[in-house]
Amino acid sequence: MELSLSDIIRENDGRICKVDPEATIEQAAKLMKDERVGALLVMNEEWVIGVLTERDIVYRVLAEGANVSTTQVHDVMSKDVVVVKPSLTVHDAMQVVTEKRFRHLPVVSHGRLIGVVSSGDLTRRIVAEREGVIDTLYDYIYGTYPG
């Protein structure tokens, strides 16, 4: 049975790092540092309205010479957010992040944000799955398979 995003969210304890759209870039950057994350969901109450990434800060603030103390998150966040359902498989989610060139997928169930899955989360799961298959085949071929 193929893993779904709800499995990854359960493993991550549903951790969600978010920021208010009115926060300054300086506040957001400190939050990213404290939480040890490369992106924050920008939320207006319960709704995801954007994603702020390290890249957004570098390209749209620092490289443009904008002031981090006065520039607000909503001015530089990525607004094209794709949300996915928790039933989406890991492989299908990887296809979404590859095609759309996103690194973070907010996961929504019944209109409520339940977690975020990163491309790193997806890659780790796919690699672990493939390593398991390789180990099983190796054991089978060399006679160490318990079955």
CA distance 92 to 98: 10
Cα→Cα distances 114→4, 6, 42, 75, 129, Å? 14, 9, 14, 25, 24
Domain ranges of the chain: 5-141
Query: Is 37 in contact with 146 (CB distance < 8 Å)?
Result: no
Where is pLDDT greater, at 79 or 127? 79
The mean of the pLDDT values for the chain is 87
Task: Give the distance from CA 59 to its chain's centroid.
Answer: 20
Cα→Cα distances 101→81, 95, 105, 113, Å? 11, 10, 11, 21
Which is nearest to 25 in space by CA: 10, 43, 5, 40? 40
Q: How far apart are the first and last CA of the chain?
A: 19
CA distance 32 to 81: 19
Dump pLDDT digits (tens) for 28-78: 999 999 999 889 999 988 789 999 999 999 999 999 999 999 999 999 999
Give the pLDDT band (50/70/90) at residue 133. Answer: low
CATH number for region 5-141 = 3.10.580.10
- Across the range 2-15, mean pLDDT stands at 80
Asked whether the predicted pLDDT for residue 130 surpasses 90, the reply is no
DSSP symbol at 146: -
